[in-house]
Structure 1
Amino acid sequence: MSGFDFAILTEIVSFLDNSRPDVCVEATTALVASLQVDDGLQVRSNCAHYLENEVPKKLCSLISNPCVSEIEGKKINPSWPMKVLLGSLDALGSMVGEGGEMVAEAACECGVVGRVGEVIMEYSHTSKRGVEAADKILDSCCRLLANLCRSECGCTAILDKEGVLAKLINEFESPAADCWDRFQHVATVLMNVTQVERGRKVLLKISDGFLDKVTPSLTANNSVRRAGIAGAIRNVCFEKDSSWWLIHEKKIVDVICYPLCGPEGFDMDDKIGMTPNMWMEGPDKKREPDADTRKLLVEAILLLCATGRKNREKLRELKVYPIVKTLDLSEESEEVSNKISECVQFLMRDEEGCERIEGEMLAIEPEQTSVDVMEPAGRVKPMKPEDWDAVD
């Protein structure tokens, strides 16, 4: 859809107040489609119109109360509230993802994080594990929060709800083996909240142990988990005051370097001081396959290199140089190779008499990302009355 008719938009918005769940589902689907436009300015113009119609407020209301229990004395099938809830989450997630700070502020004012937190508490219950609709709802909750915290106000809203964030991390730490990875985008949430200093402090807080809970996902089969956690680790490496603790106490260098090692192996001299995990698997060792994730990890090393001479000496002891040098020999991404070159300049520099300001070589900012919510869909097509009786 290359443009959008505001008359159609107004019609779609009017259906959000309809008591029939099938109409609400079609309306939320059409809202997602309305954001799939080519012109970014048009997207924001559409979002401005949404705000005038208080759509974020309506969607938040649907999230809390997705469906009436009956219409004209006829009981509603229990599956419809879940469909309305899923549609509302996806529509609001699309709005926040495309509309930027403006829509994020409107959603936060409506208390979206608290409402989504209630949904997560309900649908993550063990009795609902493996239920496909529940899996989709929880995935949409995490996608919505991931897009919301691309903005500063969204980060603040999520960090203010400590219980919600703790619940997300605990569920992320122990994914159910019998169902789809519905909490995969918690990694994206963590990557985004660590854009800000407060988010980095939360992840690094020793008493909560959040860092220990999430770092194992750096070697998970799920690529979304790996990329998000790589971004979060990279972002916390901006905290220079925590660098010694990260390197010496949390052994973060081993966590970062393990995915960067491949099957090539190392010379005997290089193995001295290197953690054995880096080479013990031999030719069976698999390197992180995603170039963007590798880039995030190399940038994390680069940030640690910039935290001071003592830390660089520790990185040299851990043989970070041969690790990144070996990585570069097989690296196909020019961006990753450029970052490796910057690391090498730090690791091979002459420290004696060097008065350069630490970090002057870096041109890195905290990383964030977004997630798509749904594919484009058609405009609202309410069901006919005769079809309503057959709705399951």
Structure 2
Amino acid sequence: MSELEELVGFLDNSRPEVRSTAAEIVSGLTASPDGIEKLKSLQRPLVTKLFRSVGLGGDASRKCLVALVNLSQDPSLADLMLELNVVNRVMELVREGSSPHVDLLTSVLANVTISEGGSRQLLQIGQGNMEGLHMAVLLKKFVVGGITLSPGESDPYEHVASVLTNVTRLKEGRQLLLQPGRGLLAALVSQLQSWNALRRLGASGAIKNCIMSAEDDGTLDAVLDDKSLLPHMLRPINGQEPLEKEDTVRECMAEAVLMLAGTERGRDALWEAGAPEALRKGYEDEAHAGVCVAMERTAEIFLSHSTIDSGMSAPVVGASSAARQEHETGAARQAQVQIEEEKE
């Protein structure tokens, strides 16, 4: 037996101190690509024993979960974990509340759901009455945490936001969030004002996924029927304090607004929500190229439909001098020139 095999064998040893020492060494190895490559020769018994040790509790439990989080970042090892029923194992621990390390458990879920296969397993697609139960549990804990936690407090369910971004790449995941009467979308958009950046990032990605596919999915009405959605979406890009610091959040929301503006009912809803003025103010000091381009294209759509859809005067996104200097190239410049021509 090699030293590595002996080390892995100690992970589920009956003596807690032995398990803890072995887990510390293994978690250290998983912290580097070279270490992970060495462990791949024993990947199946390694993953099995790591999960077994998590179930045994004690000091080794968190170290083993750290190792699993690191290992699950490797696509081939994430696939192995899915084969070994990682999703159901993690969800059993989450549902029972038997592990104090929910942050790491949800980190594993965030990693394995990057693949379509992982997302489908978490959504329990094809499992009849079981479909969506895992996600219902996660969503409830995620939303409750967003309400009850104070700024700066430890947020064990923050990585569920990344899971939501992952699963909403699938139609089944989007449909789950948009189920009538469940209020899941309203709960999700409320996270755009969370003090936790990870929650805002994940929520914005999931909302964007739902909106970008709404026409194809036949869910546009379900999106727009939620009157709380648009004010929350416009808030990160309207230039009002407190400003949204994450470029990704602002870009996701600007692109989602652009997609809605391309539909007749979406434009009407955006007019009603005051989107033209919100975008004008937000654009004045916006420095991110992707956000600016999305706003400019939205303004073009409003300009071209202003007399047809609403009869209102045309909204114009004005460019600040700083934004001009930042974006006088490529598509951004082209879009800006078109807007200025309309203004003249």
Q: Does the C-alpha gap of structure 1 residues 216 and 95 become closer, same or farther in structure 2, counting only changes over 3 Å?
A: same
How far off is 1:104 after superposition? 2.3
Task: Decide whether aligned partners of structure 1 residues 333 and 43 sit closer, same or farther in structure 2, where only a CA change above 3 A counts.
Answer: farther
**Is the Cα–Cα contact under 8 Å of residues 189 and 229 in structure 2 kept in the other structure?**
no
- Aligned pairs for 1:201-220 (under 5 A) are 201-220=175-194
Measured after TM superposition, the shift of residue 249 of structure 1 is 3.6
Aligned in 2, Cα 1:319/1:177: closer, same or farther, shift over 3 Å? Answer: closer
- After TM superposition, give the deviation of residue 8 of structure 1 in Å: 7.0
Listed as ranges, the gaps of 5+ residues in structure 2 are 125-129, 309-330, 332-344
Amino acid at match of 1:230: S
Question: Once the 2 structures are TM-superposed, how far is the Cα of residue 257 of structure 1 from its aligned partner?
Answer: 0.6
- Contact 2:165–2:206, Cα closer than 8 Å, also in 1: yes
| 8 Å contact kept, 1:47–1:95 | no
Counterparts of 2:189 and 2:49 in 1: how far apart (Å)? 37
Distance 1:351 1:48, change over 3 A: farther
Higher share in helix: 2
Distance in 2 of aligned mates of 1:256 and 1:9: 51
Correspondence for 1:128: none
- Mapped pair 1:239 → 2:223: no
Scaled by the length of structure 2, the TM-score of the pair is 0.76
Return closer, same or farther for 1:219/1:50 CA change in 2, 3 Å cut-off: farther
**2:235 equivalent to 1:258:** yes
* Separation in 2, partners of 1:319, 1:107: 47
CA 1:312 to 1:43, structure 2 compared with 1: closer, same or farther past 3 Å? farther
SS of residue in 1 equivalent to 2:245: coil
Q: TM-score, length-normalised on structure 1? A: 0.67
User: What is the deviation of 1:200?
Assistant: 0.8
1:288: which partner in 2?
Answer: 244
Q: Which residue of 136, 139, 160 corresponds with 1:169? A: 139
1: distance between equivalents of 2:281 and 2:261? 18
Residue of 90, 101, 104 corresponding to 2:78 = 104
How many pairs are equivalent? 295
The correspondence for 1:152, drawn from 116, 133, 136, is 116
Aligned to 1:227: 201
Q: 1:245 to 1:236 in 2, by over 3 A?
A: same
Residue 221 of structure 1 aligns to a residue in which SS?
coil
Letter in 2 for 1:323: A
Closer, same or farther in 2 for the Cα pair 1:302/1:245, shift >3 Å? Answer: same
Residue in structure 2 matched with residue 49 of structure 1 by the alignment: 41
Cα deviation code 1:2-31 (max 9, x no counterpart): xxxxx7755543432433323333433443
Aligned match of 2:169: 195
Partners of 2:254 and 2:295 within 8 A in 1: yes
Larger RCO: 1 or 2 (CA < 8 Å, sep 6+): 1
User: 1:318 aligned to 2:273?
Assistant: yes
SS in 2 for 1:349: helix
Identity %: 25
**Structure 1, unpaired ranges of 5+:** 1-6, 67-80, 125-132, 264-284, 354-360, 362-392
Q: Separation in 1 of the partners of 2:296 and 2:38?
A: 44
The partner residue of 1:302 within 237, 258, 263 is 258
Distance change (3 Å), C-alpha of 1:298 and 1:19: same
Cα distance in 2 for residues equivalent to 1:324 and 1:49: 54
Residue in structure 2 matched with residue 27 of structure 1 by the alignment? 22
